[in-house]
Structure 1
Amino acid sequence: MSKAETLLEDLVSASRILADQGICDAFGHVSVRNPDNPGTYFLSRARAPQLVTRQDIMEFTLDGRPVWDDERKPFLERFIHGSIYAARPDVHSVVHSHSRSVIPFSITPSKLRPVIHSCATIGHDVPVWDAQDVFGDTNLLVSSEAMGVDFAKSLGKGRSALMRGHGSTVVGATIREAVYTAVYLEVNADLQIKASALGPITFLTPAEIDRIQARLADGKPGEGYDRAWEYWCQNARVDSSA
């Protein structure tokens, strides 16, 4: 199996995992950059993540145009993915979701910050992008390339960003890293909300975040992202051998 085909199989698995873990419901999506052509990326047609199959995967240029005259209905918010890939050569996978514990941090002054070692991949800073600032009253969906570009600027060089009253987007150097970060963004939000009721929170320090990220990136077989991936694949009943 070619590298591209392996990634496409992982992309299907990622969709099922994100649904199984409650990160995506009927909405949300995950993409991967084309390893043979960095100017395109793969993303399912508009479909609930739990139902995505290999046949649903489409290829897009970075400005959101389907490749190969594919006329199937694409996700409206595909511009999130292409704009990030255009701005960040280091990013090879993107996850957009509306996981519920994260939303309060997009509509209040409280900043989402890592509180536990497994959540360090969300990054030092999790900015909040507000479509209202540039585009005025909208339906809050990233429905154009201009909105995608503006959001990518807000994300900057970070690993995750929130969208006011909407959801969040995370990135990774691999599909497994992006899925891991999406899952643990939700975990961190839930824990931070619970901890805030007990008193002041001791957050991870910047140096701790850097050390943990480096450790995960250098994980050996059976460690880090791969261990989590195998576990989630088992729960979602998808093949982890790809």
Structure 2
Amino acid sequence: MPQDLHALLGDLVIANRILAHEGVLDDFGHVAVRHPERPDRFFCSRSRSPELVTRDDLLEFDLDGTPTDPKGLKPYLETVLHARLFAARPDVKATVHHHAPAVLPFTVTDVPLRPVFHMAASLGGPVPVWDSRDEFGDTNMLVDTMAKADSHARALGGGTSVLLRNHGASNAAHSLPALVFIAVRMMQNAELQYRSMSLGTPRFLTEGEIRLTADMQMSERPLDRAWAYYRARAGYGGI
């Protein structure tokens, strides 16, 4: 196994553990990363709670969500969600789908989730909401078919984040460290926006502030610092 792929798969396990430790993921939700040498392939765990994911749980998939070697393991029912995000967005290298409790109020009301503090600038403007009923009527509310996954990817568009009506959220980024940063800050922004609304109308970031701040935060130095911090909090620190 090439060393960069070996390291990337280790980071995928760590990203699962970090997002579980930070409360973005619980017993459900999942993280995926694109193959560094095969853009038509990606890796995701078998169906297992993120806090328990190990290297042995990781499977390789094509962009239809089909495992190249199932190894007798059962994948997540929503693996195709990641497959079609990677298919729609060649720039995306890592994805997560979650049900962070702080985010859920913005999936069950018409209040837009918007960046309200600078560390959440990577959310972009108001986060779009994907409603499966628009195309599919009543469903089991999982993104478990190609058609639903493609619709979900269209709702994400060129951004980093999308809410799923009465369900949860998905995030996409150019790396696992960036993905962790965006998902955690999305949760924190939701908490802060909700609390601020009890005091009055929040002051949101301007379009210019969002663009300039997100560009800075998605660069190497801030992401290296944040990734080291979250790794340490999840028990993967070092001296």
Q: Do Structure 1 and Structure 2 share a fold, with TM-score over 0.5?
A: yes
Match of 1:238 in 2: 236
Match of 1:122 in 2: 123
Match of 2:52 in 1: 51
Residue 74 (str. 1) matches residue 72 (str. 2): no
AA aligned opposite 1:42: F
Q: Note if contact 2:59-2:69 (Cα within 8 Å) is conserved in structure 1.
A: no
Q: Note if contact 1:160-1:168 (Cα within 8 Å) is conserved in structure 2.
A: yes
Count of aligned positions: 238
AA aligned opposite 2:23: G
- The Cα shift of 1:240 comes to 6.6
AA aligned opposite 1:20: H
- The Cα shift of 1:125 comes to 3.0
Q: Which runs of 4+ in 1 moved over 4 A?
A: none
Match of 2:101 in 1: 100
Q: Note if contact 1:229-1:240 (Cα within 8 Å) is conserved in structure 2.
A: no
Q: Give the secondary structure class of the aligned counterpart of 1:178.
A: helix
Residue 63 (str. 1) matches residue 64 (str. 2): yes
Q: CA RMSD in A?
A: 1.3
Match of 1:3 in 2: 4
Match of 1:143 in 2: 144
Instruction: Specify every segment of 5 or more residues in structure 1 that has no aligned partner in the other structure, as ranges.
Output: none
Q: Note if contact 2:172-2:179 (Cα within 8 Å) is conserved in structure 1.
A: yes
- Residue identity over aligned pairs, in percent, reads 44
Pairing 1:151-166 to 2, within 5 Å after superposition: 151-166=152-167
State the TM-score, normalized to the length of structure 2: 0.96
Measured in 1, the distance between the counterparts of 2:219 and 2:235 equals 27
Measured in 1, the distance between the counterparts of 2:146 and 2:219 equals 35
AA aligned opposite 2:149: G
AA aligned opposite 1:18: L
Q: Give the secondary structure class of the aligned counterpart of 1:58.
A: strand
Match of 2:182 in 1: 181
Match of 2:34 in 1: 33
Match of 1:195 in 2: 196
AA aligned opposite 1:43: C
State the TM-score, normalized to the length of structure 1: 0.95
